[in-house]
Amino acid sequence: MMKTKNKQADLQTEKRRAKEIFILLKKEYPDTKIALDFSTPFQLLIATILSAQCTDARVNLVTEKLFIKLKTPADFLSITQEELEKEIFSTGFYKQKAKSIQNCCKALVENHNGEVPKDFDALTNLAGVGRKTASVVLGNAFGIPAIAVDTHVKRLSNLLGFINSDDPKKIEYRLKELLRNKDWTIAGHLLMNHGRKICIARRPKCGECKLAELCPGAVSATKQKGK
């Protein structure tokens, strides 16, 4: 019984710390939103598939022209894979992405009447769609709370002491445990922004970080410098 109480007390302490951290992040990045440009859930689905191993800025340049030519899943199936590869070439891994996109569109047409499903399992059953992509679509296109774990979210979740794991699924579940579900979607974007602007992988700006006093990673870095 004592261990259970201690565990519950530790969880409540971590929830309070997490809340304080994300309050600071919201103040630091008040206009945080998804970096990918889209007008429909389908556009966001395609853009997110293209964003694998590619910058959001590059994807936006590609989709700006792509979505004028191709608007629906049926449109993406009306061209050859080679033609699609040429359209998305600059996003990298274009052959696999083109194949995944067309297989995804085929499933949308055949199984979902050409519409993007709002169900997590249905999304992850689509070609090229994993937990991260499904979470991006649910959270940003449909307003359904979800946490997308990218490299920044994974790295910062460990540095901030929320978890000690490289498993995206475990990180996702841990953040969901610590945060209110209405904050899930924005939390991912806040961590991504902070990872890009301040907590940079090879050269973190701990001296400029508003989270330094709450971050075990910053404390460790300071101790290392003091040696």
Tens-place pLDDT, residues 30-58: 999 999 999 999 999 999 999 999 999 99
Mean pLDDT of 124-153: 97
Q: What is the pTM of this model?
A: 0.90
Supply the pLDDT for residue 218.
Answer: 75
Tokens standing for residue 119: 């169900």
Give the pLDDT band of residue 224 (cuts 50, 70, 90): very low
pLDDT-based confidence at residue 220 (cuts at 50, 70, 90):
low
Closest CA to 144 of 60, 41, 30: 41
Give the pLDDT of residue 226: 47
User: At residue 2, does pLDDT exceed 50?
Assistant: no
Average pLDDT (199-206) is: 93
Can you give the residue ranges of every domain in the chain?
17-32+147-221, 41-141
- Residue 167 CB contacts under 8 Å (≥ 6 apart), including other chains: none
Averaged confidence pLDDT in the chain: 93
Residue 125's SS3 state is: coil
85 pLDDT higher than 70: yes
Mean pLDDT calculated for residue range 51-68: 97
CATH superfamily, region 41-141: Hypothetical protein; domain 2 (1.10.340.30)
Query: Of 143-152, 196-205, 216-225, which range is least confident?
Result: 216-225
- Give me the active site residues, please: 132, 150
Out of 1.10.1670.10, 1.10.150.120, 3.30.750.80, 3.30.70.20, select the CATH number for domain 17-32+147-221.
1.10.1670.10
Alpha-carbon distance of 116 to 149, in angstroms, equals 21
User: What was the pLDDT predicted at 7?
Assistant: 67
Dihedral of CA 215/219/220/224: which sign?
positive
Token pair for 77: 């199936």
**17-32+147-221 shares its CATH topology with 41-141:** no
Mean pLDDT of 203-216: 94
More reliable by pLDDT, 187 or 221: 187
Indicate if the pLDDT at residue 6 is higher than 70: no
